[in-house]
Structure 1
Amino acid sequence: MSQSILEFDRTFYSYPCTSRVAIDDLSLKIPSGKRCGLIGQNGCGKTTLFLLANGLYQPQQGIIRWEGEAFRYDRKSLSELRQQIGLVFQNPEHQLVASTVEEDISYGLYNQGLPEFEIAQQVQQAIEQFDLSELAREPIHNLSLGQKKRVSIADIMVLQPKLLLLDEPTAYLDPRHTRQLIGLLKQIHAAGTTILLASHDLDFIYRWADWVFVMDRGKLILEGTPETVFAQRDVLEQLQLGVPLAIELIDQIKDLVDGDGNSKLPNFEELQQQILQWRRRG
């Protein structure tokens, strides 16, 4: 595995007025330059991990390191950190703050105190990069959910972070907007940004990620390549996560072949029918 860009070292976090530990002795390293997927049931700690990773929360115990240096929680240090670690929330409504698309993308740049001409130049570049030219002066409230998600990513990427965190970015998107989002992520990663993405969509994670983390009750349970992680079927089923469809189909086909590699079915049509029946049962 490549050098880590962000590291959690035995971190703990509990929310006020609750006895439940949200992050429980978590040690985790995000490899630099990779597309990382994070999976787990609701309540496993994914969102809390993101809020800690962006410095919005501070762990009660343990250390979080950015490029080998421990987080510092003074205002100046956090401001600098959030330019390097961008967080895109699951619900874009929690992130979009201005009246129009153009104004929203410029918001973070104004907070940096950049000159007007530089802000205008960077906003225009982001608008073109994320295919938002037709929406630049559109009121935010007029946008579809897919368009709002695209703007929320542009809001972060205009700051040119080294690490992009996305919490359930495909949630509630239709197939067309999901494909557009995957295209954006490919473009962002190709430009050199490390990505950590949380999702319940195991098929997407299996196809997209280079490295996968599995969390449960605030702990890291598994990590590795998608092939390594999803081979741990018993563990994943104990966590009620299941496995991607591709893995299910491979296992189903294995059941239809004997130990000598001979098919138990006479033709492809019967194999197809067996798989369709299995899918209906599932």
Structure 2
Amino acid sequence: MDLGLTDATAVVVGGGRGMGLAAARCLADDGARIAVVGRTQSTLDEAVGELGTRGSPEALGIVADVTDAQAVQRVFDQVGTRWDGELNILINVAGPAAVGRFEDLTDEQWRQAVDQGVMGMVHCVRSALPLLRNAEWARIVNFSAHSTQRQSVILPAYTAAKAMVTSISKNLSLALAPDEIMVNVVSPGSILSESLAGWAESVGIDGSDPYAVMAGIDKHFGHPAHLPRAGLPDEIGPVVAFLVSPRNSYMTGANINIDGGSDFT
């Protein structure tokens, strides 16, 4: 399907690897111009090189700490200069890394979870809004998580931050509806990211085997998906690409579970 993304402009925050890069690949395949934002220049350089070969020769990588509002503003100032003051697509993938049981988490870890998982998204949306409003059409997708609907005792801070992302996104979908800027959320389930693969290896599971990883999730947490395997980052990308495209002409305020099947409501 032609998603209508040829020459569309997109910023993918956390687009250097994993699910963010998977989404950026799909946009590049459809001809979008992409900026990927992250913390590590070498990771971004590698991503930009790949995106350039896939249909986004003008792709660029911008290093920024999204918890720093001024640094984020500089990112979107640069994007605005490059793309004539317009932006069609904003995808916020970056999130917190807080892991630990409630009684073990420090105040600083809670603050970091909110700064990394919530305020980074807030900074990016706020700085992008003038550019999004200038564009002929615009879409936002923010990443939440399945743990907001199925709790894990080792992720209270992470889950709280992601729940805030979902709530803020719902509010934005209402607030930006008069501008016809559509805002949606995706909630990935057990996706075989670097962090999940690392956990699997730490408990003696082959982190490259999605079937073994899902069996391990069942054993250790009792939260298996209906499908017998973990998901792959590239299975997230097409869903996000549709949500941020003109083909999505009437879906806003939705929270889309990409989880291999669950009892979520």
Same fold (TM over 0.5): no
Larger Rg: 1
After TM superposition, the score normalised by the length of structure 1 is 0.34
After TM superposition, the score normalised by the length of structure 2 is 0.35
Pick the structure with more helix per residue. Answer: 2
Structure with more relative contact order (C-alpha pairs < 8 Å, separation 6 or more) = 1
